[in-house]
Amino acid sequence: MLERIKQMLAEVQTLQAATPEEVEALRIKYLSKKGELAALMNDFRSVAPDLKREVGQRINELKAVTTERINALKSAASAQETTADDVDLTRTPYPVALGTRHPLTIVKNEIVDIFSRMGFTLAEGPEVEDDWHVYSSMNFADDHPARDMQDTFFVEAHPDIILRSHTSSVQARVMERTQPPIRVICPGRVYRNEAVSARAHCFFHQVEGLYIDKQVSFRDLKQVLLLFAQEMFGPETQIRLRPSYFPFTEPSAEMDVSCTICGGKGCSMCKGSGWLEILGCGMVDPAVLEANGIDSTIYSGYAFGMGIERIANLKYQVKDLRLFSENDVRFLEEFRAAN
C-alpha cells in the first residue's frame, strides 16, 4: 500500500488543468467521496497493525498535497478564464484616485481641535431657525438692520422662520437649556442676503465660542485668543484688540493678528499695516444672559466668532471666496497634503 501511495503522490504533483471544468474533474477523481483518496481510506482498514501509523501519515500527506495542487490549478484556471469580452470598458480605470478633505473642513477641524484642547466642547444647532434664537435672544433691537431683507433670508410662508445669519443661535440654545459653567465651540454654515463676489458670498461658515462662569474677565478672553492665534498661525504670532460694537457683547472688540506673510513688516496682503483682522469678540452683554435664563449678577462670560473662510484665506492665501464652493477638482487637489 505504501508503494501505491508513493505512485499516487508522484501522479498528483504532475497534474495539469487548463479550465475550471478540468480542475473540477480532477477534484472529483481524487477528493470526492468515491475518489482515489476515499478508496485508500477504505483499504486502510486492512493494513497490518504495525504499519497503520506509517500508512496513516502517508495518506494524510497525500491528501494535503492533492488539495493544495488542485487549489493552485483552480486559481490559475480562473485567472486565465477572463477574456477581452469580459472587460467593462465603462469602468473607472485603476488606480482610482482617493479624494481629499475640503480646505474649509481642514481649517474647521483644526480650529475645533485647538479649542477642544482648551476645554471647549462641540455644540451644533439647526440652520433653519426662528427669530428669537437668531436675533431677539442676542439683544438685537427690533429695528436692527440685520433683520431687513437685505441681510437675512426669510421663509416666505413663515416670516418668523429664517436661515440663521450667524451661529450665535446655537449659543442661545445651549444657554437656555444649560446652567453655567458653559464652555462651547459652535461651528456651522450661515446665510446672508449678499451679492456673490470674490470677497463675499450668500453662504459661508463660522465658528463661535462661548464661555460663561463666575468671575470671567476680559483678560481670560484675551489669553484664550492669543493661544488660539499662536496655535493656528505659529508661535511668533501677535494679536491686538480694537474697540468695536456688537449687540450681544459689551465691551466688544475686533481682533487682528500680525500678518502671516510679512511677519508684521507690511505687504500687499495686509495693505502695509502689518495686521490682519480675523474675528470679533467681547464680554457677553448681561441682557443676553438674562434673556436666556442666566443670572447676570452671578455669572459673566465672553464670546467670539470668526469666519472659517477668512482663516482659510490667510492660511492658504486663497483670494477668491467662490473657489471654496465651486468644487473645482484642480483647486481641491492642492490641499491633498493638508489632510
pLDDT in tens, 127-136: 999 989 999 9
Average pLDDT on 44-50 reads: 78
276 DSSP β-pair partners: 257
Instruction: Specify the pTM.
Output: 0.68
Query: Where does a domain end: 28, 58, 86?
Result: 86
Give the pLDDT confidence score for residue 85 in this predicted structure.
57
In a domain, 96, yes or no: no
- In a shared domain, residues 61 and 203: no
Average pLDDT on 264-278 reads: 80
- Give the C-alpha separation, 328 to 50, whole Å: 80
Helix (H, G, I), strand (E, B) or coil at 77: helix
pLDDT at 58 over 70: yes
pLDDT tens for 163-186 read: 998 999 999 999 999 999 999 999
- Give the C-alpha separation, 224 to 44, whole Å: 83
pLDDT at 303 over 90: yes
- In a shared domain, residues 280 and 148: yes
pLDDT band at 260 (very low <50, low <70, confident <90, very high): confident
What total number of domains does the chain contain? 2
Q: Residue 35: which domain range?
A: 2-86
- In a shared domain, residues 78 and 176: no
Q: Which of 261, 272, 264, 252 is nearest to 314 (CA)?
A: 261
- Give the C-alpha separation, 288 to 168, whole Å: 11
In a domain, 94, yes or no: no
- In a shared domain, residues 78 and 109: no
CATH number reported for the structural domain that contains residue 207 in this entry: 3.30.930.10
Average pLDDT on 2-25 reads: 84
- In a shared domain, residues 67 and 181: no
Average pLDDT on 73-77 reads: 82
Radius of gyration, alpha carbons of the chain: 36
- Extract the C-alpha cell encoding 210: 462661548
Give the pLDDT confidence score for residue 7 in this predicted structure.
83
Collect all residues with Cβ–Cβ distance below 8 Å to 274 and sequence separation of at least 6: 258, 259, 262, 264, 265, 266
- In a shared domain, residues 80 and 127: no
Collect all residues with Cβ–Cβ distance below 8 Å to 125 and sequence separation of at least 6: 133, 164, 167, 169, 170, 173, 186, 188
- In a shared domain, residues 214 and 291: yes
